Amino acid sequence: MANQSKSIWSRLALILVAILLVFLGFYAYMGGFSSVQVTEVTYGPRTIIYAAHRGPYEEIGSSWEKFQTRWEAAGLKECRSLAIYLDPPDTPPEKLRSILGCTVEHLDAAEQERLAQEFPVFQVPAMESIRSEFPYRNMLSFMLGPIKVYPEFQRVMEEQKFQPAVAFEIYGNPESIKFIEFIMPSREPRSTFAPLEQAFENL
């Protein structure tokens, strides 16, 4: 009986070890053990068309689907996507304001003009910023990336004694994302982004 009990516990231990190894392997594949590198860069200038989302980040997906339907209907074949987050993380979820955008400065003038008739346009200036990136594996990367990157951003911000006006996450073409790029402007004033705040006045 004692030997049988030991055998059961041994099997359970092996199963738990196997589960742990699978979890650690998946976490490593997701980039969970990768170190976060923060560099200082100039980001911009960029021209974006955009849509506004107010509410929890978990609900951004539905707003993105509506935005995608609109930019596809407007004839944009590929969206080099990004998001701009206007509020600090301790903002109540229902009050969070996010901008969903496609960069368009690479398009010819006629196409930019046509899109400007369908969407609001914002000019992102060249900005001194801190930057990092995180590998994209699947939808979980949208959660794990910020968990890994933002604490390191916070450390750099405290060292350099600045608070960013907004936060950027750049994804690129949704069909072929390789990594998520994180940008926080270090010296750009909040007033630069006033036109984006005005987009929420009627929401």
- The residue-averaged pLDDT of 145-161 equals 92
pLDDT above 90: percentage of residues in the chain: 68
Could you tell me if 8 and 105 lie in one domain? no
Task: Indicate if the pLDDT at residue 79 is higher than 70.
Answer: yes
Domain that holds residue 24: 1-30
- Cβ distance 119 to 73 under 8 Å? no
Condensed to tens digits (0 to 9), the pLDDT of residues 12-51 reads 777 777 777 766 665 665 666 577 799 999 999 999 999 9
pLDDT at 183 over 60: yes
Question: What was the pLDDT predicted at 138?
Answer: 67
Per the DSSP assignment, residues forming a β-bridge with 182 are 132, 169
- pLDDT for residue 89: 85
**pLDDT recorded at residue 2:** 53
- Same domain? 12 vs 56: no
In angstroms, the CA 99 to CA 199 distance is 9
Q: Does 184 lie in the same domain as 95?
A: yes
Asked if residues 90 and 173 have their Cβ atoms less than 8 Å apart, the reply is no
Same-domain pairing of 54 and 131 = yes
Total of domains in the chain: 2
